[in-house]
Structure 1
């Protein structure tokens, strides 16, 4: 069993418990459930930098990334210094996150929020909407074609945008749906955790123009962004590069200052 399969197995148990504790009918009564979502895809199209800055405390590849990080201060800095959107890890077992982080982020900023998690059940989509997310992530390596279709249609019904994550051409060809807004190419192989930015470059031309192209993982300098922009990428999901530092907000500010200088 590889790490992705293990995460999925654990997630099924977690979601089953959560369904019993907080049914969908209760989620639908929460204030954010009726909130109009903010478009991440529009922000990325308009942004010269297109950074989706990520909040996470740890990951399987970096178990001690920033375990004591507080979400409010960091997401406010992300917003202040020019992020186009913010990704919030809500998986607890492997990333040290939770739905409370998403809720606190929603109360702290006006940017579009991506709920970053391993979606394997429709319940999680209702949950994302209820807790203030604007976008959900669907991982092609984790889902079959019918699941991606069902989940993306439900997301659109609830007013959420969809970021589809792929790792190779086969996943891309089998997973594109009209309801998808953005296609993210994960440069990190979720089975081996090896990172290769060429994954984004090789898949760029195969992603139809109607989808916003997002490059994910392994981006640690502004040069990588400038190079990927040449391949048509408008979004860049970056988390570990900032979160591994003592002050993620300050690290993000310095990164954006350098990027804006190079983009002039």
Structure 2
């Protein structure tokens, strides 16, 4: 059994427990459930940098990345840096995140917030909206085509953007539907954790132009983005690169300055 299988098994148990503690009607009556959402897809389309910066304490592949930073400072720093959106890990067991991180990020900035989570149940999408998310992530590797359709349509009905993540051609083909806004190509194989930008390059030509293309994982340099821009990628999800520093906001600022300065020349 690979790590992804283990995460999904644990996630099913966790969601069952959460559903028993907080009913859907309680989520739907939360203050944030009525707020107008911000579109990450629109931000990416209009941006020169396309950076989606992440808040991530640890991961199964890297163990501890940074446990010392508070979410409020990270969110404000990213917003000041001019990123297009912020990804917030809400998985506790494997990534050290929580829904409280999402709430704090929401209270600290006006960026579009992506709830980075292993979504296996509609409940988590309603939960994302109630905790202030603007975008949900769907991972094709753990969902059937019917689930992708059901979950993405629910998200759209709640005015949430949908980022659908794929790793190969087979996953891509089952994921193309009108209720998806962004197609993310994860350069990390979630089963082996090996990373290669070639995955983004190979899949780019198979992604229809109706979708905003996002490249995820293994992007730690301006050069990596320069390699991917000719393949029509508009979004670049950067997790560990900023989080492993003492000041992710300052790191993101420097990174974006370098990236956009080179665009001018």
Q: Give TM-score, length-normalised by structure 1.
A: 0.99
Aligned partner of 1:165 in structure 2 is: 165
Matched ranges for 1:224-243 at <5 A: 224-243=224-243
Aligned partner of 1:20 in structure 2 is: 20
Q: Give TM-score, length-normalised by structure 2.
A: 0.98
SS of alignment partner, residue 231 of structure 2: coil
> Unaligned regions of 5+ residues in structure 2, if any?
none
RMSD over equivalenced CA pairs, Å: 0.7
Aligned partner of 2:89 in structure 1 is: 89
SS of alignment partner, residue 171 of structure 2: helix
Aligned partner of 1:121 in structure 2 is: 121
SS of alignment partner, residue 59 of structure 2: coil
2:33–2:130 CA contact under 8 A, matched in 1: yes
Deviation at 1:263, TM superposition (A): 1.2
Distance 1:90 1:96 in 2: 8
> Unaligned regions of 5+ residues in structure 1, if any?
none
> Stretches of 4+ moved more than 3 A in 1?
none
2:59–2:94 CA contact under 8 A, matched in 1: yes
SS of alignment partner, residue 58 of structure 2: coil
Distance 1:56 1:255 in 2: 18
2:214–2:233 CA contact under 8 A, matched in 1: yes
Aligned partner of 1:182 in structure 2 is: 182
Matched ranges for 1:132-143 at <5 A: 132-143=132-143
Matched, 1:62 2:94: no
Distance 1:16 1:160 in 2: 23
Distance 1:115 1:177 in 2: 21
Distance 1:218 1:131 in 2: 28
Deviation at 1:256, TM superposition (A): 1.3
Distance 1:61 1:253 in 2: 26
Distance 1:181 1:253 in 2: 27
Aligned partner of 2:222 in structure 1 is: 222
Distance 1:179 1:87 in 2: 20
Matched, 1:191 2:191: yes
Aligned partner of 2:78 in structure 1 is: 78
Deviation at 1:246, TM superposition (A): 2.0
Aligned partner of 2:32 in structure 1 is: 32
SS of alignment partner, residue 10 of structure 1: helix
Distance 2:119 2:152 in 1: 11
Number of equivalences: 264
Distance 1:39 1:93 in 2: 29
